[in-house]
Homo-oligomer: A and B are copies of this chain.
Amino acid sequence: MSKYKDFLYPEKWIANASMGVRLACELRMRIISGMIEKGTVLSENKLALEFEISRSPIREALKVLASENIIRLERMGAVVVGLTEKDIKEIYDVRLLIETFVYERVVKMDTSELVKELSKIHEMMEVAIKYGDADEFSYQDVLFHETIIRSIDHSYIMLIWNNTKPVMESLILLSMRMRLEKKYDDFSRVLKNHEVYIKAIKIKDRDIMIQALHQNFDDVQDQVADQWMSQQMLAKGREQ
């Protein structure tokens, strides 16, 4: 589908999803990467023609993207809003907020099972990076945090996570792909960070947890924002 032969979003992650979901994932990647410029007006009919599917899944996808605030549904057409640097900061505000909340709960739990799961994911990340698979690394990274959040069994925190996850995932995916080429060393730092996470959860010291959390976020946020800016610049350059 579409004149673009290849997709930005890993197809195997959405192999048996509906067209609406798939299109949402792909459009999200294109918008966040800057491939679709801000201000662009997306029309249901035009998208239907371009992607060669009917309006039903298109509508579904646009609703999803609108709920993530990266497009704005107006009277006529969906206007691409995209992400500003402010937005990225805000996403990390929210992550910090919910993960801090989560940790408050985690210290009161039996974390042995969780630690085991996280260790497994951590090793997966090591393997992924060993074979230069940025997509798999991103997947496991997101899964790592989701696993922690899921562990406290809090449906409304989970709801927030589910609403912010897609954009997070796209940002991380784009960032990791760039780093694979230009800043390979970063990965070992990310891995180290996750080790600290696991350790902090294991010994259940809330202060160390929060500290590790902040440290990671201060680190990661800058990098993601940085990488994202490069991506934007790159997209800008490509247009000319």
What is the number of residues of chain A that contact chain B, defined by CB distance less than 8 Å? Answer: 24
**A interface, over-half SS:** helix
A94: chain B residues at CB < 8 Å are: 156-157, 160
Q: Which of B91, B101, B163 contacts A97 (CB 8 A)?
A: B101
CA A152 to CA B223, docked complex, whole Å: 26
- Residue of B whose beta carbon sits closest to that of A100: B97
Tell me the minimal C-beta distance from A71 to chain B in angstroms.
13
**Contacts A60-B63, A63-B60, A63-B63 known; A91 to B164 CB distance under 8 Å?**
no
Distance in angstroms from A205 CB to nearest chain B CB is: 22
Q: Are B68 and A159 in contact (CB under 8 A)?
A: yes
Chain A 47-74 per-residue mask, 1 if CB under 8 angstroms from chain B, else 0: 0000000001000100100011100000
Q: With CB as the reference atom, state the residue of chain B lying closest to A90.
A: B156
CB <8 Å contact, A154 and B63: no
Give every chain B residue within 8 A of A240 (Cβ-Cβ). Answer: none
A218 interface residue (CB < 8 Å to B):
no
List the B residue with the shortest CB-CB distance to A154.
B90
Contacts of A155 in B (CB 8 A): 69, 86-87, 90
Whether the Cβ atoms of A69 and B156 lie closer than 8 Å is: yes
When A97-B97, A97-B101, A163-B163 are in contact, do A156 and B63 touch as well, CB less than 8 Å? no
- Smallest distance from the beta carbon of A67 to chain B beta carbons, Å? 7
Is residue A117 contacting chain B, with contact meaning CB distance below 8 A?
no
Taking a contact as CB atoms closer than 8 A, the residue among B60, B90, B93, B159 that contacts A69 in the complex is B159
Q: Which residues of B contact A86 (CB under 8 A)?
A: 155
Instruction: Report A122 CB to chain B, min CB distance, Å.
Output: 28
Q: How far is the CA of A68 from the CA of B69 in the complex (A)?
A: 17
> Residues of B contacting A160 with CB < 8 Å?
94, 160, 163
Q: How far is the CB of A97 from chain B (nearest CB, A)?
A: 6
Interface residues of chain A, those whose CB is within 8 Å of chain B, are 56, 60, 63, 67-69, 86-87, 90-91, 93-94, 97-98, 101, 154-157, 159-160, 162-164
Task: Report the 5 A-B pairs with minimum CB-CB distance, sorted nearest first.
Answer: A90-B156, A94-B156, A160-B160, A69-B155, A163-B163
